[in-house]
Structure 1
């Protein structure tokens, strides 16, 4: 079942050129997914707070073909795709004429908050979504890994406002913090693609550092490191050959 809603954008969703920001694109996708879940009678937040079972995003892949402007009417579509090994959220952001402006894919895991261990979602839990077989992307990319070397290391201060209802740093905050440290030239050129790999959630009281570097093939990547542990990786405008 493909779920589509109009996008209600806000003033703070746009940059100084009047274009939708990468943060806003990600927020639109995440909030559309929540709305879709609620139409099935399921509340992801309620399940997390009452039952301790949380849908957690392990990876994001987003491609922005053309950043929408502030005066464009938009719709967002999402659907669940299930393979034998995992479930994914597929996303499309469209203009009024049907042009696909951005597409995204989130890999999901159902996690027991008390133990931190993933659980396999049952067919009954997924059935109300009417899983589809189509995906937003026609190709697959290699696994996102931290930079083998880094040109810069900066401390990261976690804000209380960036912590979500699961007690973790919110998904979009990783992108914001990474882009704050990105080279000015990259940001001026525009963010056309980004990927985020969430490995171990950052929590209040953590004091990670951000290790970043330009990528040899093009683009830029950064790793959130707590002690010796890589907690998340963000890559922007990568130049990659898809997997065969």
Structure 2
């Protein structure tokens, strides 16, 4: 089942250059996923009533064009069986009204017991509920190379805000990209050069924890490690070009 929606991005979803920002694209994708889940009877509230939750573990996005303010976008999302895990994959595609490609994305999700944080195997009933497909928006599922980083060039302490947290009392998935953009050099951020990014969510960040970002420049762009209590919680890779598989 492919879920489709058409939206006009809000002001907050644009960058200073008045074009749709990477964070704005991510937010629209998340809203599409939320609406899709609600449409098939698997909303956040319904999951919590069952004592379950969906945890995002991996998100990869390629940006093809950053549209100017005032244009509508058409979003498609669908779920895919992830044969390499017990979870579920979700795919996204965004186009403008003329059909021009704006962004593609693939993500991985784990179903978790709220009570004890156990990972639950996604059953056939859930795959049927979502009408899970076998294809990816990328054709072949992308596996961009992420090189090991031997040394970081800068380190910053992150001041957690109440608004950073979601219904599970964890730092919200979208906020990790904000932390990464705060970590890279200001000139790079202002150049709006990011054309792809990959977020690996390792362990949630909770209120009261001491959070730091460590940034390293790489041949392809920048890698940001997000740590809490001296433990790696997420890795964000930012690329100026679409990475090679």
TM-score, with structure 2 as normaliser: 0.92
Q: 1:35 matched to which residue of 2?
A: 35
1:5 maps to 5
Could you tell me how far 1:227 is from its partner in structure 2?
Answer: 3.1
Unaligned runs of 5+ in 1: none
Q: For the residues of structure 1 that align with 2:204 and 2:147, how far apart are their CA atoms?
A: 16
Q: Do 1:144 and 1:233's aligned partners in 2 also have CA atoms closer than 8 Å?
A: no
Could you say if the C-alpha distance between residues 23 and 176 of structure 1 is closer, same or farther in structure 2, counting changes exceeding 3 Å?
A: same
Give distance in 2, aligned partners of 1:110 and 1:161: 24
Question: For the residues of structure 1 that align with 2:148 and 2:160, how far apart are their CA atoms?
Answer: 20
Q: Is the 8 A contact 1:146 1:233 kept in 2?
A: no
Larger deviation: 4-13 or 156-165? 4-13
Q: What SS class does the counterpart of residue 53 from structure 2 fall into?
A: strand
Unaligned runs of 5+ in 2: none
Q: Tell me the equivalent position of 2:230.
A: 228
Greater Cα offset, 169-178 or 227-236: 227-236
Q: CA RMSD in A?
A: 1.7
**Deviation string, structure 1 residues 7-44 (Cα, Å, up to 9, x no partner):** 23211111222101111110100110111111112212
Q: Distance in 2 between matches of 1:53 and 1:139?
A: 28
Q: Is the 8 A contact 2:62 2:104 kept in 1?
A: yes
In structure 2, distance between residues paired with 1:110 and 1:139: 21
Q: Distance in 1 between matches of 2:159 and 2:50?
A: 31
Q: Is the 8 A contact 1:56 1:108 kept in 2?
A: yes
Residue in structure 1 matched with residue 111 of structure 2 by the alignment: 110
TM-score normalised by structure 1 residue count = 0.92
